[in-house]
Amino acid sequence: MQKDGAGDVCSRFLKGAAISVWQNSFDEASNWTAFAVKPHSLAERFRGKDPQLRLDTCPDFWNRYHEDIQCCRLLGSNSLRLSLEWSRVMPNGPGQVDEAAVQRYNDILDACEGAGLVPMLTLHHFTHPQWFQQLGGFEEEGNIRYFTEWAVTAFKLFRRHMKLVATFNEPTCAAFTGYIAGIHAPGRRGDIATAGRVLLHKLRAHSAAYAAIKSQEGGGDVRVGLVHQQITFEPEGTGALYSASRWTAEWLTHCFGWDVVHDYLMTGRFAWRIPGGRPGHLEVQEPSGRPHVDWLGINYYTRVVLDWRLGFTCRPGEVLTDMGWPVVPEGLYAAIVHCAELGVPLYITETGLADGADDRRAPLISAYWQQVARAVADGYDVRGFFYWTLVDNYEWHLGYNMKFGLFEWLDAPPNAQPHPSAMAQRARAAAATNAAAPKLRPLRIASGPSPLAGASATIVSVTSPSTPKWLHADGDGEEQLQAACTRLAGSLHACAGTGAAASALSSAQVAAAEAACSASCAVSGCRRRLRRGSLELVRRFTATPDELGAAQASLRDTSWPPQELPQELRRPYPSSGGVGVGGVLSGMVVGVAGLLALRPVGRALRSVGRVALSALYVPVLLVGAAWRRAPRVGYGGVSPAAGAAAGRAGGSAGAVLLVMDEVPHGVEGTAV
């Protein structure tokens, strides 16, 4: 393959899957490995980790990358988004490079380009070396220099392959889950002020790495971007019963950076607020103004709805994924419109769903792709689409429970455990169709989120998810997979319209595609199987040209037949009108009674406590307002001198800390 320069990459529409190398191949030097092997509950100390959470098995991308790259080819991809693991390249300390790891990465990247896949690289995908964490990680502003050194080292080592690179993946998610919810490394809970500092330091580290890469010879040809999660939260209702969920949803939307990161990238202003106006509220204006970014990656999955108990739910007519998240296609379009204000090229760097039953994957792909096509037709500069993820992998604190992969990993631990709300949805559907609901067995996860996270700390185990069981034929490995890719591409390309509406696959084309999928699984020891729902993505990838202008024209002009979500999984619409005060009170009484009758005492008491917190919402708000009026001089220990040090590390002259008299308003808990 002829190697592309950065200019050539920018003239292409990138299509592919996104992966984290650590989630597919653990390494001993990572902070996440240290966090995941540690027991997080008394039960784990006595009985050990649940099989879904253990690190004793993995899809092993590090050693089986040839197979996964061939899987990418089977999808019709022209790109692969993957992480450069800092802990693999520098496992023992700053500047101490592991040459064997460097060689393996070069082998992987050479194989990608040899297969026609443009690598999109990520320097920090939630993980970093344990030695960096022991130095304080991103809690310490002075540690930004270590990340800058890593960015420069990565550029020098992998310059031949570095065309598109992201400094960070979802810095807001990492700050929230690691320091507020406590379910990601380093596992701190309720430390809201530190979460804000960590987020600020990561954004400054992005600026420092950007400047450092651009200053290198040939660095001007590299497109350096940032990947940001686009997610909002909203309450299920508007009455008094939902006062706690309304307040929580507004604050979570703020914490996940819908406004924080956007405002920082637009103006250089960082504003992190603490509930109730407590100390730790932080506002910074970078003297250099708006930070530099060549492109922005959008990670969009859903808009989250919180019920009155702060649990996950969805709107009537919507369907939940195994994560307990509703499928909300229009939110992707809103996220594109929101991010387009930055005026830089946009890539959909992650979207997808956890779907062990494989009955919602095809409709989600269809609906989300349509929203991208709608955005392109409206003139927004979208230049790529990456699905999360290629093969089922270790989904952070949820382990192997969530099946995000386009390909099923056949050696995954059995008995995956979806979110309770998703299981309740499945049980309702089974009851509605007079089918027997699966027998449920409660199992507490290793480290549940804090009450502020608004998520349940209990998951439910079920039987193994059903997936297509296509017959395997004997084959001779690489040649057979090559033939499978060719047959699948030929079968699916015929259904793509050029400047016209695309028709549905004929039965013969479906049969040919399934035969190709079956053959792809016959490769000796591959242990991957393409899911039936993934064919919707293959159809679209195959039909979309590589050249950017032609691809955008195809997106505008091609209409795909819609795929409907399972009707039986949709949340039913209410049969009556609104709920008054009497209905609210009766609902609370009935809800508490139901919790006490149907749930274990511990969970029932926790839910009753949430109701009590709802009743205390107004007085707490009044106390918070009185606290905000009190004069304050310090904010979480961040001083102007420390801000100046970070500004110098990021290539700026310093930072100015401003005192806020009030918590900023305007963050609405509406859908994306």
Better-predicted residue by pLDDT, 301 or 633: 301
CA angle centred on 496, ends 10 and 555, rounded to 5°: 40
Residue matched to tokens 């998951």: 459
DSSP one-letter code for 662: S
**Distance (Å, whole) CA 379 – CA 59:** 40
- Total length of the chain: 672
Domains and CATH numbers, the chain: 14-227+288-303+322-418 (3.20.20.80)
Q: What are the start-end ranges of the H helices in 126-259? A: 130-134, 144-157, 171-179, 192-215, 243-255
Burial classification of residue 193, based on how many CB atoms lie within 10 Å of its CB (0-12 exposed, 13-18 middle, 19 or more buried): buried
With a cut of 60, say whether residue 460 has pLDDT above it. no
pLDDT band at 482 (very low <50, low <70, confident <90, very high): low
Which token pair is 503?
A: 């028709």
Report the pLDDT value the prediction gives residue 520, as an integer from 0 to 100.
53
DSSP one-letter code for 285: E
With a cut of 80, say whether residue 468 has pLDDT above it. no
Cβ-proximal residues to 316 (8 Å cutoff; 6+ apart), any chain: 570, 571, 572, 573, 574
With a cut of 60, say whether residue 612 has pLDDT above it. no
* φ and ψ at residue 386, rounded to 5 degrees: -120, 130
Report the pLDDT value the prediction gives residue 323, as an integer from 0 to 100.
97
49-85 as b/e, with b when 16 or more CB fall inside 10 Å? Answer: bbebbbeeebbbbbebbebbbbbbbbbbbbbbbbbbb
Mean pLDDT of 303-324: 96
Better-predicted residue by pLDDT, 161 or 594: 161
Report the pLDDT value the prediction gives residue 492, as an integer from 0 to 100.
52
* φ and ψ at residue 145, rounded to 5 degrees: -65, -30
Dihedral of the alpha carbons of 507, 512, 517, 519, in degrees to the nearest 10 = 140
Which token pair is 127?
A: 């993980």
Cβ-proximal residues to 144 (8 Å cutoff; 6+ apart), any chain: 138, 201, 204, 205, 208, 646, 649, 650
Report the pLDDT value the prediction gives residue 432, as an integer from 0 to 100.
82
Mean pLDDT of 510-518: 53
Which token pair is 336?
A: 């594109």
Mean pLDDT of 436-445: 45
Report the pLDDT value the prediction gives residue 639, as an integer from 0 to 100.
38
**Distance (Å, whole) CA 647 – CA 138:** 15
**Distance (Å, whole) CA 491 – CA 514:** 10
User: What pairs with residue 388 in β-bridges?
Assistant: 18
Burial classification of residue 215, based on how many CB atoms lie within 10 Å of its CB (0-12 exposed, 13-18 middle, 19 or more buried): exposed
Report the pLDDT value the prediction gives residue 575, as an integer from 0 to 100.
75
Quick one: which of 44, 68, 14 has its CA closest to 406? 68
**Distance (Å, whole) CA 127 – CA 635:** 28
Better-predicted residue by pLDDT, 428 or 14: 14
pLDDT band at 628 (very low <50, low <70, confident <90, very high): very low
Report the pLDDT value the prediction gives residue 663, as an integer from 0 to 100.
31
Better-predicted residue by pLDDT, 546 or 669: 546
User: How high does pLDDT run on average in the chain?
Assistant: 80
Tell me the pLDDT tens digit for each residue of 498-512.
333 333 344 455 555
Radius of gyration of the chain (CA): 25
**Distance (Å, whole) CA 359 – CA 564:** 10
Residue matched to tokens 């387009």: 340
Mean pLDDT is lowest, of 325-339, 434-448, 600-614, for 434-448
**Distance (Å, whole) CA 407 – CA 543:** 20
Quick one: which of 82, 156, 77, 154 has its CA closest to 120? 82
Mean pLDDT of 389-418: 97
Quick one: which of 96, 119, 82 has its CA closest to 29? 96
Helix axes 144-157, 99-114, angle to 10 degrees: 60
DSSP one-letter code for 356: T
With a cut of 90, say whether residue 85 has pLDDT above it. yes
pLDDT band at 343 (very low <50, low <70, confident <90, very high): very high
Burial classification of residue 581, based on how many CB atoms lie within 10 Å of its CB (0-12 exposed, 13-18 middle, 19 or more buried): exposed
Tell me the pLDDT tens digit for each residue of 180-231.
999 999 999 999 999 999 999 999 999 999 999 999 999 999 999 999 999 9
Report the pLDDT value the prediction gives residue 512, as an integer from 0 to 100.
54
* φ and ψ at residue 443, rounded to 5 degrees: -150, 125
pTM above 0.85, yes or no: no
**Distance (Å, whole) CA 341 – CA 126:** 26
When mean pLDDT is compared over 206-220, 267-281, 473-487, the highest value belongs to: 206-220
The DSSP-derived string for 94-105 is TT---HHHHHHH
Sheet holding 282-285, edge to edge: 269-272, 282-285, 656-657
Report the pLDDT value the prediction gives residue 8, as an integer from 0 to 100.
81
With a cut of 50, say whether residue 488 has pLDDT above it. yes
Dihedral of the alpha carbons of 478, 543, 226, 70, in degrees to the nearest 10 = 0
Q: Which percentage of the chain shows pLDDT scores above 90?
A: 67
Burial classification of residue 316, based on how many CB atoms lie within 10 Å of its CB (0-12 exposed, 13-18 middle, 19 or more buried): exposed
pLDDT band at 149 (very low <50, low <70, confident <90, very high): very high
Burial classification of residue 639, based on how many CB atoms lie within 10 Å of its CB (0-12 exposed, 13-18 middle, 19 or more buried): exposed
Mean pLDDT of 395-404: 98
Residue matched to tokens 């979500």: 565
The DSSP-derived string for 361-425 is HHHHHHHHHHHHHHHHHTT--EEEEEEE-SB----GGGGGG----SEEETTSPSS----HHHHHH
Mean pLDDT of 402-418: 96
With a cut of 50, say whether residue 160 has pLDDT above it. yes
Q: What is the biggest distance separating any 2 CA atoms in the chain, rounded to whole angstroms? A: 76
Report the pLDDT value the prediction gives residue 275, as an integer from 0 to 100.
82
Mean pLDDT of 395-402: 98
Mean pLDDT of 69-90: 97
Report the pLDDT value the prediction gives residue 609, as an integer from 0 to 100.
56
Better-predicted residue by pLDDT, 116 or 665: 116
**Distance (Å, whole) CA 36 – CA 184:** 9
**Distance (Å, whole) CA 354 – CA 589:** 34
Mean pLDDT is lowest, of 143-152, 468-477, 491-500, for 468-477
The alpha carbon of 648 is separated from its chain's Cα centroid by a whole number of angstroms, namely: 31
Query: Is the bond into 349 cis (omega within 30 degrees of 0)?
Result: no
With a cut of 50, say whether residue 313 has pLDDT above it. yes
Report the pLDDT value the prediction gives residue 366, as an integer from 0 to 100.
97
DSSP one-letter code for 665: -
pLDDT band at 526 (very low <50, low <70, confident <90, very high): confident
